[in-house]
């Protein structure tokens, strides 16, 4: 039997179609899996104090670490949308819980709510600005252009952040640090507003309201969800503090190294001129 030439093209077209369909399905699974995990984890953590500790301090970090190791193993860390979906889901869930559960207690001032929304929206705008200028289109059909972008990014000391799915060059590093600082402020401020609303509070130095007794938060389903969300926010804030510290240390060493090279260059020029 002689196989017709058209048959091979048809098989190739069917193979490409099936591959594209599976890639699309896998992307949707990644996008939907993250919010399901976050919502399930928060509801599980709200069962009781032990569930809160186990879920937020053990289960979620293990899931994130395992997911990162998995995508590193299959070399898809820069392509997956799982972590970006996790970031967006966390943002939407925390804002929704605050606006729909905490604000109705009528203890949050309009100014306080405005400040929180301003901090959050400012951080989001800065991240979108970075993504617009730095994101590499991993699905681009022109692999030569993509390779050129990544090569240039490596030459100017880029870092890839899988939580926002974007490369961050030194040019935008300061903007990214500002966005992280705004996010940190929003998380801590939102947690403080939430905890001082649902817990028994007291004044520190007659100015700052701090939570004092949260022992009865697990007796109401809405209150315990607010409590768990605020603890989740504080854990994210702690991670951001570690990342900011690491970034600032790297920035300090980078500036120090640049200064040393500049001094060495000046000495070399002076020696060259003196030898003449």
In the chain, where the domains are located: 9-263
What average pLDDT is seen over the chain?
78
Three-class SS of residue 215?
coil
DSSP annotation string for 36-103: HHHHHHHHHHTT-HHHHHHIIIIIHHHHHHHHHHHHHHTT-TTT--HHHHHHHHHHHHHHHHIIIIIG
Whether 201 and 26 have beta carbons less than 8 Å apart is answered as no
Q: What is the pLDDT of residues 78-129, one digit of tens each?
A: 888 899 999 999 999 999 999 998 888 877 888 999 999 999 999 999 999 9
What's residue 84's pLDDT? Answer: 92
Q: Model pTM?
A: 0.77
CB-based contacts of 90: which residues, under 8 Å, 6+ apart?
A: 38, 232, 236
Instruction: Identify the weakest region by mean pLDDT among 110-114, 136-140, 196-200, 260-264.
Output: 136-140
Please list the residues that pair with 211 across neighbouring strands. Answer: 201
Catalogue the E-assigned strands of the chain: 159-161, 166-168, 200-204, 208-213
Answer whether residue 132 shows pLDDT above 70. yes
Smallest CA-to-CA distance from 214 within 233, 228, 235 is with: 228
Unique residue bearing structure tokens 């120090």:
256
CA distance 184 to 130: 18
CB atoms within 10 A of CB 204: 10
Answer whether residue 135 shows pLDDT above 90. no
Q: What is the mean pLDDT of residues 43-60?
A: 92
pLDDT cut 70: percent of the chain above it: 73
Please list the residues that pair with 128 across neighbouring strands. Answer: none
CA distance 190 to 249: 28
User: Model confidence at 54, in pLDDT bands (50, 70, 90)?
Assistant: very high
User: Model confidence at 1, in pLDDT bands (50, 70, 90)?
Assistant: very low
Burial state string for 85-99 with b = 16 or more CB within 10 A and e = fewer than 16: bbbbbbeebbbebbe
Q: What is the mean pLDDT of residues 134-153?
A: 47
Q: What is the mean pLDDT of residues 145-165?
A: 60
111-125, 127-141, 196-210 — most confident range: 111-125
Answer whether residue 48 shows pLDDT above 70. yes
What's residue 148's pLDDT? Answer: 44
């Amino acid at each position: 039997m002689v196989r017709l030439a058209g048959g091979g093209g048809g098989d190739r077209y069917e193979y490409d179609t099936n591959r594209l369909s599976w890639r699309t399905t896998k992307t949707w699974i990644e996008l939907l899996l993250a919010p399901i995990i976050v919502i399930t984890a928060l509801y599980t953590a709200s069962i009781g104090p032990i569930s809160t500790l186990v879920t937020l301090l053990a289960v979620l970090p293990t899931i994130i670490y395992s997911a990162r190791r998995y995508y590193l193993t299959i070399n898809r860390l820069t392509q997956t949308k799982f972590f970006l979906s996790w970031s967006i889901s966390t943002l939407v869930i925390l804002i929704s819980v605050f606006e729909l559960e905490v604000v109705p207690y009528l203890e949050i001032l309009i100014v306080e709510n405005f400040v929180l929304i301003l901090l959050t929206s400012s951080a989001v705008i800065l991240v979108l600005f970075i993504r617009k200028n730095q994101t590499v289109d991993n699905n681009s059909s022109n692999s030569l252009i993509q390779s050129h972008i990544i090569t240039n990014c490596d030459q100017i000391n880029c870092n890839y952040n899988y939580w926002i799915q974007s490369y961050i060059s030194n040019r935008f590093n300061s903007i990214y640090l500002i966005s992280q600082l705004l996010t940190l402020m929003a998380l801590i401020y939102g947690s403080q507003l939430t905890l001082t609303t649902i817990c028994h509070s007291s004044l520190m130095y007659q100015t700052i309201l701090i939570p004092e007794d949260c022992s009865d938060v697990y007796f109401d389903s809405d209150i315990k969800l607010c409590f768990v969300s605020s603890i989740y926010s504080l854990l994210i804030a702690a991670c951001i503090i570690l990342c900011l510290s690491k970034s600032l240390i790297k920035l300090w060493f980078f500036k120090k190294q640049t200064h040393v090279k500049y001094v060495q260059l000046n000495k070399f020029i002076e020696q060259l001129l003196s030898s003449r």
